[in-house]
Structure 1
Amino acid sequence: MKTFFVWLICATLLLTAVLPAGTASAETTDSKSSGVKSAIVIEQETGRILYQKNADKELPPASMTKVMTLLLIFKALSQHRISLTDQVSVSEHAASMGGSQVFLEPGERMTVDEMLKAIAIASGNDASVAMAEFVGGSEKEFVKQMNQEAAKLGLKHTHFENTTGLPVKNHYTTAHDMAVMAQALARYKQVFNYTSKYEDYLRQNTDQKFWLVNTNKLIRTYPGADGMKTGFTNEAKYCLTATAKRNGMRVIAVVMGAASPKERNSEIAGLMDQAFAGYTTQKLLDKGRLVASRPVDKGNPAHLSIVTGQQAVLLLKKGDEAGTTTKKTVINKNLQAPIRAGTVVGYYQISKKGRTVSKTPLVAGENVKRAGWWQLFTRVTVSILTR
């Protein structure tokens, strides 16, 4: 027996010496996100990655697909192509959607506002398809627009086959790409009127009153949480694209492939806790701040007001001083009419110790039409006479 215990102690010491100790590397052995297939955390304004694990791994997103669906809907609202009070008629195709649904009937009519509640709160597949048909003319055309928007956002590992996330071949994205989509959606502040609600109702004042309960339980349990979209299928497992805001800083966290809702929520909460504990933001310029005015070739008006397309923000590790920063405004040369308001025409860059730490898009502050021949003739004449 004595010999056995001596052998056991030696074996234990040997194993302790051979097995590697844990490290502090956030991207390799951090306890957070260890149980999920992929994860990422970014700061919303700068897009800076604060943590990532397998962030470019292509995976099925399940109902997180609806982040892109919502993005295109809010884009249409901002461009006044649709309004919240518009009536949306439900097709046979939309009403036939399985999975998460609000049980829309063929021919039933709801406002865009009600449809947004159904999508953002209850993850209604039927409402998603109804809105896709309303905005795009057909679900097929809307899906085409989803993929076009993904390309505009520079997403290299995303492809959509439907608006809902129901399982289908060749429908995939990554944690990184989901974070970028969520970042773009978060710029439409109106979206939080829907994603931040824990419960609401459809068909108010009718016999078919329908209770909506948010599939994202962090809305109720995590301080500052106000979005954005859960997802689950047998293939995708439990996924969540979440966002929260504290002390003026918004973070976006994505986990894909968690084993359970509890693990999904716990991992997201831990990742956001680390972000809020480690970083803070300093606002430099408000969105819409006039930065410059530049001439536009053959433009009406002749000069374009150039403004910040979003807040200019400096992201800092807590405890770090802002220090000396270098500010630079870069604007495209030879601006040509026509130019649509909101078109990106340059950027406002902040550098620290030779490294770019903030890059804010600069956009056209108004529409610039192409000047008519008489306007151009008058300008040339005035220019000659005033030399």
Structure 2
Amino acid sequence: MKKIRIWQSLILMVVLFWLSVLPLCAEESGEQKTGDMPENLYARSAVLMDADSGRVLFGKEEDVIRPMASTTKIMTCILALEQMEDGQTVTASEYAAGQPKVKLGVQDGEEFYLTDLLYSLMLESHNDTAVVIAEGIAGTSEAFVDMMNQKAKEIGCDHTYFVTPNGLDGEDDGGTHSTTARDLARIMRYCIMESPAKEEFLEITATRFYQFQNVEQSRSFSCNNHNAFLDMMDGALTGKTGFTGEAGYCYVGALRKDDRTFIVALLACGWPDHKGYKWADTRKLMEYGIEHYHYQNVWKELSLPKLSVSGAVSDQNPYTDCVGVSLEFEEKGGSLRILLGEGESIRTEKQITQELEAPVKAGKKVGSVSYYLEEREIGVFSVVTSETVEKRDLKWCLSWLVKKLCL
């Protein structure tokens, strides 16, 4: 019995040793470990997006429709910036003053400079401020929400529907106040990359502290930025938090590192008492993007065929039915920089005309070369003729004959 136990102990020791060595072997082999992908995220829906191209680099239930709470306010802010007039003032209504907390505490009939309220909106996430802004821009909150939905459609957010300008849970005949992580990231991309008011948006949302008064200067207000991510990572640009009972904790933010800009969007990222979950997920996704995605020049010098040109002539051979026409890219020595992850590669597809009819002028477009990352088209370059060829007709033949006789 003792010998059996000794052998059992030896076998167990060998098994434990082998299991401990396996991870080291995997690391030494150079193979990508599953741990390289973001795992164990708290958020039910999450997206890491390349802000330059709009490509989703990582997604978790990124197209599941969920409420988004006060992350809504990034759309409210960018629309107000695009629509407002210089020095515009707005007046709080009874309806705006009656909004639930978190609120600035506006009073019915109180007047403010619209610019000041944008800091209240984005730094403190005040719900009454959002309604004052909406009514000041569009006349009514409902009319402003229509503008929000229109803008969402314009920028490709097909699964987003706004009911309120402040992000409070809501529902009407058109649907429930909701979005997807992909759409939320896309809205942030518009705010910081595409909107004519992108610089103003970034300036407001990066401000740590702001003070202002109402127009009458009878009351003073101060705002502190609650976007803790701004001080968590180098390069943090902007962001907006959100919470409701239906949505849970939500967040959307952006970071710029070297020549790369990443956006993270999180929905349903925990409920009380888990405020910190969104920061952990944001850091994990941003660090993943920084470590694994870099710009590469994927331009390829491709060999292109010559084309047959029916009825063409040249000084060298007036009797031929065809003449070669060389092709070239419209942009020689081009550059096509793409953010690529480990193991990703580019493929090209050529679409070129097979036959041409003379005459053909230099610079005529005869095809294209497309670059693809998986099924996504990332670049298209035209192929053009590099020389002119004439058509063989009676006039050309007589001209050629005269030249030969004169030699």
Cα 1:227–1:32, aligned 2, differ >3 Å: closer, same or farther? farther
Alignment partner of 1:69 is 2:69: no
**Displacement after TM superposition at 1:217 (Å):** 0.7
Q: Is it true that 1:266 corresponds to 2:280 in the alignment? A: yes
Q: Does residue 37 in structure 1 map to residue 57 in structure 2?
A: no
Residue 385 of structure 1 is matched in structure 2 by: none
Aligned to 2:94: 92
Task: From 122, 145, 148, give the equivalent of 2:147.
Answer: 145
Does the Cα contact within 8 Å between 2:37 and 2:288 map onto a contact in 1? no
Quote the residue 1:251 is aligned against. Answer: 262
* Secondary structure, aligned partner of 1:121: helix
Paired amino acid for 1:70: C
The residue type equivalent to 1:86 in the other structure is: Q
Give the superposition deviation at 1:212.
Answer: 0.8
1:58 lines up with 2:65 in the alignment? yes
Q: Deviations over 1:17-62 (max 9, x none)?
A: 9xxx9x9558xx9454522111001111100111100001111100
Which residue identity does 1:358 align to in structure 2?
I
Correspondence for 2:326: none
In structure 2, the residue matched to 1:382 is none
Task: Show the counterpart of 2:304.
Answer: none
Aligned to 2:312: none
CA contact 1:281–1:313 (8 Å) conserved in 2: no
Separation in structure 1 between the aligned mates of residue 342 and residue 37 of structure 2, nearest angstrom: 22
Task: Name the SS of the counterpart of 2:268 in structure 1.
Answer: strand
Give the TM-score of the pair, scaled to structure 1: 0.67
CA distance in 1, matches of 2:336, 2:95: 45
Distance 1:152 1:106 in 2: 34
Are 2:360 and 1:358 equivalent residues in the alignment? no
Instruction: Call closer, same or farther: CA 1:37–1:261 in 2, change over 3 Å.
Output: same
Q: Distance in 1 between matches of 2:148 and 2:104?
A: 23
CA 1:353–1:69: 2 relative to 1, 3 Å: closer
Check the 8 A contact 2:48/2:286 in 1, yes or no.
Answer: yes
Larger-gyration structure (1/2): 2
- Do 1:315 and 1:357's aligned partners in 2 also have CA atoms closer than 8 Å? no
Match of 1:315 among 316, 330, 338: 338
Q: Is the 8 A contact 2:346 2:373 kept in 1?
A: no
Query: 289, 292, 316: which one pairs with 1:278?
Result: 292
In the alignment, does 2:132 pair up with 1:125? no
Give the conservation status (yes or no) of the 8 Å contact 2:372–2:378. no
For the residues of structure 2 that align with 1:168 and 1:280, how far apart are their CA atoms? 41
Query: Which of 190, 194, 201 is equivalent to 2:200?
Result: 190
Aligned pairs (5 A) from 1:225-236: 225-236=236-247
**Matched residue type, 1:254:** A
The letter of the residue matching 2:57 is L
Q: State the alpha-carbon separation in 2 of the partners of residues 113 and 148 from structure 1.
A: 23
Tell me the equivalent position of 1:114.
116
* Inter-partner Cα distance in structure 2 for 1:102 and 1:37: 31
Q: 1:158 — aligned with what?
A: 160
Counterpart residue number, 2:394? none
Q: CA 1:327–1:237 in 2, change beyond 3 Å: closer, same or farther?
A: farther
Structure 2: distance between partners of 1:326 and 1:127: 52
In the alignment, structure 2 segments of 5+ residues that lack a partner are 24-31, 299-334, 352-367, 381-407
Partner residue of 1:201? 211
Specify whether residues 231 and 322 from structure 1 end up closer, same or farther in structure 2 by C-alpha distance, changes over 3 A only.
same
Counterpart for residue 320 of structure 2: none
Q: Which amino acid aligns with 2:202?
A: F
TM-score by length of 2: 0.64
- Distance, in Å, in 2 between the alignment partners of 1:203 and 1:135 is 20
Instruction: Name the CA shift for 1:160/1:33 in 2 (closer, same or farther; >3 Å).
Output: farther
Deviation at 1:316, TM superposition (A): 2.6
Q: Residue in 1 aligned with 2:182?
A: 176
Q: 1:33 to 1:122 in 2, by over 3 A?
A: farther
Q: Given residue 127 of structure 1, which amino acid in structure 2 is its aligned partner?
A: T
User: Once the 2 structures are TM-superposed, how far is the Cα of residue 218 of structure 1 from its aligned partner?
Assistant: 0.7
Amino acid at match of 1:200: Y
Using a 3 Å threshold, how does the CA distance of structure 1 residues 318 and 97 change in structure 2: closer, same or farther? Answer: same
* Partner AA of 2:69 in structure 1: A
CA deviation after TM superposition for structure 1 residue 234, in Å = 1.9
Distance 1:137 1:359 in 2: 43
Label 1:33 to 1:94 Cα distance change in 2 as closer, same or farther (>3 A): farther
Q: What is the Cα deviation at residue 71 of structure 1?
A: 2.6
**C-alpha distance in 1 between matches for 2:344 and 2:42:** 35
Match of 2:224 in 1: 213
Q: Give the CA deviation at 1:315.
A: 2.6
Contact 1:33 1:39 in 2 (8 A): no
SS at match of 2:106: coil
Which segments of 5 or more consecutive residues in structure 1 lack a partner in the other structure?
A: 77-81, 285-311, 329-347, 361-387
The total of aligned residue pairs comes to: 299
Give yes or no for contact 1:101–1:126 (8 Å, CA) kept in 2.
Answer: yes
Q: What code does the residue aligned with 2:240 have? A: K
Alignment match, 1:308 = none
Q: Which secondary structure does the structure 2 equivalent of 1:156 belong to?
A: coil
**Worse-matched range after superposition: 93-102 or 50-59:** 93-102
- When the two chains are superposed, the root-mean-square deviation of aligned CA atoms in Å is 4.0
